């Protein structure tokens, strides 16, 4: 355990060194299940530097904008693409918001999950001007879904709006997530087998197989305490991949949702050697990225050194986050390798 404890300590130390660049984003919505096809409209967010401790929005604090959703056809078909139109409006005036900042290569990041959190997609609607974004996308089966539209208004005000919808003729209902926390296995890792997919096509078959490992640090996650989610991307044989690629300008993206779907956290890693000193990078928490020259587990101390050259192929990504309240959370880590997206999900228990 000494080596393990040491590596946690070193990793935590590094996170603290970088904490000046750390920004907490938590969005808690109070959308109620009986308001199908209607903007849940009660979301809030924070975008504040949090040098020592993260701050979080009060649940239900309204964002500056609202999301208006429609689809063509209006009744969203199951299993075939529909055109979704998302319009961002000023909450106070109703006027379309026209100017957005590009964050991680996009003006709008749209996360779509089934309300039981079993299905996940991350797409990037195209901006048509006048606050209107469109995307052709499909939902895999009849049921309830939740959307998280993640965008930053020109000038840096970040907002995440939640929206509930249903397919198959029903109305939105919150399906019980039925989550069970993953157990931590050998070396402190949780491991999940996944196949790579084209971006935005989570149901596509036939991608390359990977083993994605996640080590939460500390192992016992506690609400309100800083935590790190250390991902390692391995090939089908369990060896760390060489040359993880940047995806949307970061070495990985992690979305976390509370089991009740109301709390949304989105974190990005911080690039090694990047000088984020004092600068706020829109809507991101930070993490570290390390090279992949480690064995599958039982890492040598050398790979933990601060001065490890970042030029070596990356296979490990660390996200820094802070869970606002106890309970089960599902995390989806997304990475790019060989031009395709690797998405791996895990369920974490956060204690009071």
266 near Cu ion, judged by CB under 5 A: no
Choose the stretch contacting Cu ion; rule: CB under 5 A; options: 65-73, 109-117, 235-243, 303-311: 109-117
Indicate the residue among 255 and 348 with the shorter CB distance to Cu ion.
255
The answer to whether the beta carbons of residues 21 and 286 sit under 8 Å apart is yes
Smallest gap from residue 334 Cβ to Cu ion (A): 8
Q: Which is nearer to Cu ion, 226 or 284 (CB)?
A: 284
Helix (H) or strand (E) holding 235: strand 226-235
For the bound state, the minimum distance from the C-beta of residue 177 to Cu ion, rounded and expressed in Å, comes to 23
Between strands 157-167 and 143-153, the pairing is antiparallel
Least distance in angstroms from the C-beta of 5 to Cu ion: 35
- Record the tokens describing residue 33, joined without a space: 């299940």
Q: Among the candidate windows 34-42, 108-116, 178-186, 227-235, which touches Cu ion by CB under 5 A?
A: 108-116
| Residue keyed to tokens 């039982």 | 298
CA distance to 119, 138, 177, 179, per residue, from 115 (Å): 8, 15, 7, 12
Q: How far is the CB of 119 from Cu ion (least distance, A)?
A: 17
For 288, the token pair is: 């570290």
Instruction: Please give the helix or strand (H or E) that residue 2 lies within, else none.
Output: helix 2-17
Phi, psi (rounded to 5 degrees) for 336: -120, 135
For 13, 22, 36, 126, the CA distances from 279, given in Å and listed in that order, are 20, 9, 40, 28
Select the span of 63-71, 101-109, 178-186, 306-314 touching Cu ion (CB under 5 A): 101-109
Tell me the HSE value of 149 on the side-chain side, using a 13 A CA sphere: 30
Residue closest to Cu ion, measured at CB: 109
**Does residue number 109 form part of the binding site for Cu ion (CB under 5 A)?**
yes
Minimum Å gap between C-beta 187 and Cu ion is 31
Taking the least distance from each CB to Cu ion, the nearer of 189 and 332 is 332
Assigned token pair, 216: 């939460």
Question: What is the nearest approach in angstroms of Cu ion to the Cβ of residue 69?
Answer: 18
Determine the size of the site formed for Cu ion (CB under 5 A).
1
Query: Please, which residue, 152 or 291, has the CB nearer to Cu ion?
Result: 152
Which is nearer to Cu ion, 211 or 281 (by Cβ)? 281
Question: Is 187 strand, coil or helix?
Answer: helix
CB of residue 102 to Cu ion, shortest distance in Å: 11
Contact 179, 191 (CB under 8 A): no
Of 54 and 109, nearer to Cu ion (C-beta) is: 109
Residues that bind Cu ion (CB under 5 A): 109
């Amino acid at each position: 355990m000494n080596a393990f404890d040491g590596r946690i300590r070193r990793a935590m130390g590094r996170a603290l060194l970088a904490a000046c660049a750390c920004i907490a984003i938590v969005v808690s919505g109070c959308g109620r299940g009986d308001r199908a096809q209607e903007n849940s409209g009660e979301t809030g967010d924070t975008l504040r530097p949090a040098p020592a401790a993260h701050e979080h929005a009060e649940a239900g604090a309204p964002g500056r904008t609202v999301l208006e959703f429609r689809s063509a056809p209006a009744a969203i078909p199951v299993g075939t693409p529909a055109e979704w139109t998302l319009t961002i409006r000023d909450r106070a005036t109703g006027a379309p918001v026209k100017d957005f900042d590009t964050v991680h290569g996009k003006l709008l990041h749209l996360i779509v999950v089934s309300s039981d959190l079993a299905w996940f997609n991350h797409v990037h609607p195209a901006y048509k001007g006048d606050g209107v974004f469109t995307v052709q996308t499909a939902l895999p089966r009849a049921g309830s879904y939740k959307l998280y539209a993640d965008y930053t208004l020109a000038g840096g005000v970040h907002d995440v709006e939640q929206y509930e919808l249903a397919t198959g003729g029903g109305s939105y209902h919150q399906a019980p997530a039925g989550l069970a926390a993953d157990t931590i296995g050998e070396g402190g890792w949780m491991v999940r087998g996944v196949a790579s997919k084209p971006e935005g096509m989570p149901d596509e078959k036939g991608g390359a197989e990977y083993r994605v490992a996640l080590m939460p640090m500390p192992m016992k996650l506690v609400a309100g305490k800083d935590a790190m989610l250390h991902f390692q991307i391995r090939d089908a044989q369990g060896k760390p991949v060489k040359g993880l690629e940047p995806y949307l300008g970061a070495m990985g993206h992690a979305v976390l949702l509370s089991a009740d779907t109301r709390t949304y956290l989105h974190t990005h890693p911080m690039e090694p050697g990047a000088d984020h000193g004092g600068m706020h990078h829109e809507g991101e928490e930070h993490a570290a990225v390390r090279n992949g020259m480690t064995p599958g587990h039982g890492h040598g101390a050398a790979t933990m050194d601060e001065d490890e050259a970042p030029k070596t192929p990356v296979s490990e990504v660390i996200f820094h986050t802070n869970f606002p309240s106890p309970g089960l959370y599902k995390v989806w880590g997304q990475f790019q390798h060989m031009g395709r997206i690797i998405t791996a999900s895990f369920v974490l228990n956060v204690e009071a």
